[in-house]
A and B are shown apart, each in its own frame.
Chain A
Amino acid sequence: MRTIRLYVRLLGAHLRSLLEYESDFWIMMVGTVIMQVVNVVFLAAIFAKVPHINGWSFWAVVAMFALVAIAEGVGSLFFEGMWNLAWQINQGDLDYMMVRPYPIVLQVSSMQIGVNGISNIVTGGLMLGFAIAHLGIDWTVGRIAGGVIVLLSAIAVKVAINLATNSVSFWMQSPSPLFAFAVHQVGDLARFPLSIYPLALKAALGFALPFAFVSFFPVTFVLDTGDAWVGLLTPVVAAYCLAVAWFIFSRGLRRYESAGN
């Protein structure tokens, strides 16, 4: 509990200084909203030509888009600092964090707030709401509870992948997280149903970099279509991803060499 309270404290400290640059704040918010709207318009254009993609309706795909947006939004709103890890390693900026009584990984991830996360979460939430309204899901108590758990797990998968890929910077000399950026781009593929991809890509998104558990499998679970049961594995995959990410980070930390002057 104290760990979480302190996390909010560390993150919140940056909020005030962020709000000092009010115009930047609004530009970022509007920019992100526009990007999401463009995504949906693009999707609608595709579905204007074909009624289904591989058996998936427009609204089902919107739900997948929505989950990717929400997961990304949570990642930038609460854990944006991870993206600075490469720079901090390069500059030796972890030194002081290592002598403070708080988990280093949380000190790193709370170093920055990505305000555009707010608009990603809001637009993603709206998209998800509309999608659910149109999909005519048969909501039972079990499905609601399962849906919430699967949603939280999906977000955890995305955050864990961010951490794991950024932690690779401990083995690199580069001051920017090139590897994590590349993987992040791959994650965009998960906006579309996994079933449209060739086998190799399916395996990649299902196992190696399990982005399919950020969007596709959680949606199949809630819709109870296809291999819905795989969606139920999302919490397990999330736990696994977090464990792997933590392992890579701790291993990397042992390699940390600070910086000479």
Chain B
Amino acid sequence: MALVEARQLTKVFRRPDKDPGMRGAVKHLFVRRFVDKTAVDHVDLSIDAGEAVAYVGPNGAGKSTTVKLLSGILQPTSGEVRIDGLSPQKDRIAVSHRIGVLFGQRTQLWWDLPVSESLAVLRDVYGIDHGTYRRRMARFEEVLELGEVLPVLGRKLSLGQRMRADLAAALLHAPPVVYLDEPTIGLDLAVKDRVRQFFRTVRDEGTTVMLTSHDLGDIEGFCRRLVIIDEGRIIFDGDLEAVKDAFARERILNVQTETVVPLEAARAALPGAAIEAGETPLHLGVRFDRFTMTAGHVVSALAPLANLVDFNVDEPSIEDVIRRVYSGELVLQP
């Protein structure tokens, strides 16, 4: 059985449907109306030990809700979760030793304690012996540069300091499974690099990681598996590199011509490629498949129509692929 397993996992939130303001609130006391919102919709997911999975989707897709269901914070409306064979809702304490959770949007540090004290409290909560604790702290200090952060009170931390301290807090008990929900949100480039580095060391030690992020830089070179969720439903689950190979095969050649080339003329010259208007009538975009056509071919086909002033080639990144999936322009088949 997989280490993390979700079967038909569903969460419906019931929100009071109130008119705004005092009148709405009073009215709601007498006429109770609710709207149901299905945040996670029959999700099947199974993650093996040691996998690093990117869990992406547009805002409100249900990513954080999935993480909360997988960690036992929320009760599923239907369906079930197993972590190492245990239900996080029913065997809460046993599962808590096996998972580490980070919500980038909120801290688990005590606001009135220095970071060192928050971590020491967590050490005692998890029952970590002092030797092991010192060893892990030494590693955090090395990779996360935690030393400068330790004496600072929780409420006085900068965002970058807070995130590094929170990462240490989430991983202090060396859990075999880690959920990172937007762990780089709001970080500057230098800190981002540092924490990404840290993720790689965590993964390389064999920790199973599920990572949620809007910054696809976090997942490239880190996750092999990509899961895309939209409106609560998983719309893709497969190999990240395969997606790139399959969909990043498309190239766009942007050309600038000396005289206007009518779109129809360009299309006639280049069957098999898609021609789009550019920013001025003198610009054209040619979208083609790099396996069936080369940039040289496109250029020589256009040359008889007008003098070419300039051209360049866009290589779509995984980011473009996913953006097109979000917008419904691209349908991935796993």
Interface residues of A (CB under 8 A from B): 2, 6, 9-10, 13-14, 16-17, 92-96, 98-102, 173, 254, 256-258, 261
Contact = CB atoms under 8 A, between A and B. Distances in A.
A13 B117 contact: yes
A101 B113 contact: no
A102 B92 CA distance: 9
Contacts of B97: 101
Interface string B94-129: 001101110101101010110001000110111100
Nearest to A9: B124
Given A101-B97, A173-B16, A254-B75, A261 B64 contact: yes
A17 B71 contact: no
A98 B113 contact: no
17 contacts: A2-B127, A6-B124, A10-B121, A13-B110, A14-B110, A17-B112, A94-B73, A95-B73, A96-B103, A96-B108, A99-B72, A99-B73, A99-B96, A101-B97, A254-B75, A256-B74, A258-B74
A53 to B, nearest CB: 41
Nearest to B37: A260
B311 interface: no
A108 B175 CA distance: 23
Nearest to A5: B124
Name the prevailing secondary structure of the B interface residues.
Answer: mixed
Interface string B65-78: 00010011111000
A96 B16 contact: no
A16 B73 CA distance: 30
Interface residues of B, number: 31
B34 interface: no
B93 interface: yes
Contacts of B121: 9-10, 13
Contacts of A9: 121, 124
A95 B125 contact: no
A92 B13 CA distance: 14
B243 to A, nearest CB: 28
A9 to B, nearest CB: 5
Contacts of A94: 73
Given A10-B121, A13-B121, A99 B126 contact: no
A6 B120 CA distance: 12
A98 B112 contact: no
A16 B110 CA distance: 13
Closest 6 CB pairs of A and B: A96-B108, A17-B112, A101-B96, A101-B93, A98-B73, A99-B101
A176 to B, nearest CB: 15
A95 B124 contact: no
A10 B120 CA distance: 10
A100 B74 contact: no
Contact of A257 (B13, B100, B124): B13
Contact of A98 (B16, B72, B122): B72
Nearest to B100: A99
A257 B117 CA distance: 29
Contacts of B125: 6, 10, 100-102
